[in-house]
Amino acid sequence: MRLPPAISAYTEEVLREILRFTGPADRVLSRYFKDHPKIGSRERGAIAEGIYGLLRNKSVYSSFSESGSGAPMRRLALLGLADAVGVDSLGGLTIEETEWLNRVMLIDRTILPAMMRSNLPQWLFDKLLAKFGEEQTLQLAESLNCQAPLDLRVNAIKTTREAVVATLAEAPIIAVPTPYAPLGLRIIKKPSIQNLPLFQDGSIEVQDEGSQLLAQVLGAKRGEMVVDFCAGAGGKTLALGAMMRNTGRLYAFDVSDKRLAKLKPRLARSGLSNVHPVLIAHENDAKIKRLAGKIDRVLVDAPCSGLGTLRRNPDVKWRQSPNGLAELNVKQIGILAGAARLVKPGGRLVYATCSLLDEENDAVAEQFLAAHTDFTLVPMKDVLAEQKIALEMGDYLKLLPHLHHTDGFFAAVFERNK
């Protein structure tokens, strides 16, 4: 069944706004759909897929679009839609457009230059090339340009992984245990899970396996005082609260009341009563100072470039810049130093990002250790052995989509000397 001709016009219109890169693509899309309520759900799906396909493959499509005729933005929109739903599903095409799209879709992309094939901006391609070499950079880029599967975390205070697998099978939804996270499930086809009783009663949460592992390496235990320093919408907070078996005190700090507001309904579903959301002004807020030296474990999932999450947010690679990275670096170092004050002697501090870049990861960890001689690095291989996670790592956790099938994540574990 063909999509109506208006689809390409809608896609072109929203694409024009998204390619200004003034904000996240998902936010621009959802606002556009809100402003155009007459667009049906099938059409919305096609537009979203077309836009995301284009953002993933922007270098290749920008090059391909130069060979067509007509308005440049329409050509780009048509390439995204053709890749998402197929040329034959598009209504309202001219004969020339149909022929051009069919011709372009047959081009062998493996013979294109490496830089174009990666669909990464030049500065990012150069950084990854210097770190990984060409072959691994292209493997990494290819995995970043694929859609992520849907990962779930089972809420252990409500149910078990086996019980959730059995219940999902009745839906019927096939879920397989994730290889590393003990409470993770991976769903290959992405069903809508918001209406499932399992989701509504808090038995499952959507959370990438890599993100689940960050909570694991903090190693929070029953009865402890724990802080999630940059809690955001609370995915890791909820995982930590369940690890603590709903005991002790878990503070969820964040500078954004909007993000903390998103935690509230999730918290209500989860059945946790040990979580205390706290709005802070900055990393030196007086609310933090009151807890200085009293906390057993602190997780700092720092604001970062987000370049490890390109499978979900392909626009990030085009919105991020080297200048933006330098600003983030200052924040990361300041936030980690602020969070470190909370940790009691013998306590654990975890610094984490969803970035692939050394300057946001290893360099920050090393700078922290140089400036804080009262902290020692705990090798990640020891932490993973303690948590019974079968992953080969050295000093740091470095998860990569093409190797571990998670988002790209980094973590360093520090301990305050007794």
- Kindly indicate the confidence band of residue 389, based on its pLDDT and cuts at 50, 70 and 90: very high
Nearest to 42 by CA among 9, 7, 5, 88: 7
Same-domain pairing of 257 and 315: yes
**Active-site residues: which are they?**
354
Q: Kindly report, residue by residue over 125-180, the tens digit of the pLDDT.
A: 999 999 999 999 999 999 999 999 999 999 999 999 999 999 999 989 999 999 99
For residue 334, with 0-12 CB atoms within 10 Å meaning exposed, 13-18 middle and 19 or more buried, which class applies? middle
Structural domain includes residue 273: yes
**Is residue 94 located within the same domain as residue 132?**
no
Using CA atoms, how far residue 392 sits from 91, 381, 399, 402, in Å, is 51, 7, 10, 15
Q: Quick one: pLDDT band at residue 104, thresholds 50, 70, 90?
A: very high
Residues 6+ apart with CB under 8 A from 394: 379, 380, 381
- Cis preceding-peptide flag for 172 (omega within 30 of 0): yes
Same domain, 22 and 155: no
Q: Report residue 219 CA to chain centroid gap.
A: 21
Between 188 and 231, the more confident residue is 231
Mark whether 324 and 341 lie in a shared domain. yes
For residue 206, list its beta bridge partners: 152
Q: Which two tokens stand for residue 52?
A: 């995301």
Give backbone dihedrals phi and psi of 297, rounded to 5 degrees, phi first.
Answer: -145, 135
Q: Is residue 383 part of a domain?
A: yes
Same domain, 135 and 155: no
Decide if pLDDT at 189 tops 90. no
222's CB contacts (< 8 A; 6+ apart) are 244, 245, 247, 248
Q: Give the domain CATH number at 185.
A: 3.30.70.1170
**Tens digit of each residue's pLDDT (9 = 90 or more) over 269-311:** 999 999 999 999 999 899 999 999 999 999 999 999 999 999 9
Chain position carrying tokens 């369940």: 242
At residue 225, what is the residue type?
Answer: M
Largest CA distance in the chain: 75
Q: What's the pLDDT score for residue 377? A: 98
Confidence label for 1 from pLDDT (cuts 50, 70 and 90): confident
Domain boundary residue, one of 112, 134, 159: 112
CB 219 within 8 A of CB 297: yes
**CA–CA gap between residue 413 and residue 397 (Å, rounded):** 9
Could you say which DSSP state residue 309 is in? G
List the beta bridge partners of residue 301. Answer: 352
Verify that 242 and 365 share a domain, yes or no.
Answer: yes
Q: Does residue 312 lie in a domain region?
A: yes
Mean per-residue pLDDT of the chain: 95
**Within this chain, do residues 238 and 356 fall inside the same structural domain, yes or no?**
yes
* Residues 164, 175: Cα–Cα separation, whole Å: 9
Q: What is the dihedral of CA 248, 262, 288, 357, to 10 degrees?
A: 100
- CA separation for the pair 327, 365 (Å, rounded): 17
**Per-residue model confidence (pLDDT) at position 69:** 84
Residues contacting 82, CB < 8 A, separation 6+: 90, 101, 104, 105
Nearest-10 Cα torsion for 310, 321, 15, 112: -70
Looking at the fold, whether 323 and 369 belong to one and the same domain comes out as yes
**218 and 355 in a common domain:** yes
Residue-number span of the structural domain to which 261 is assigned: 209-416
**Residue 297: predicted pLDDT:** 98
Are residues 141 and 61 part of one domain? no
Inside any domain, residue 33: yes
Statement to judge: residues 266 and 382 lie in one domain: yes
Cα–Cα dist 184/154, whole Å: 6
Task: Report yes or no on 68 lying in a domain.
Answer: yes
Give the model's confidence band at 237: pLDDT under 50 very low, under 70 low, under 90 confident, else very high: very high
In contact, 322 and 287? CB cutoff 8 Å? no
Structural domains of the chain, count: 4
Where does the pLDDT of residue 225 fall: very low under 50, low under 70, confident under 90, or very high at 90 and above?
very high
Q: Note whether 188 and 240 are same-domain residues.
A: no
The pLDDT tens digits of the residues spanning 341-379 come to 999 999 999 999 999 999 999 999 999 999 999 999 999
Q: 320 in a domain, yes or no? A: yes
Output the pLDDT for position 89: 93
Whether 375 maps to a domain, the answer reads yes
Q: Is residue 1 part of a domain?
A: no
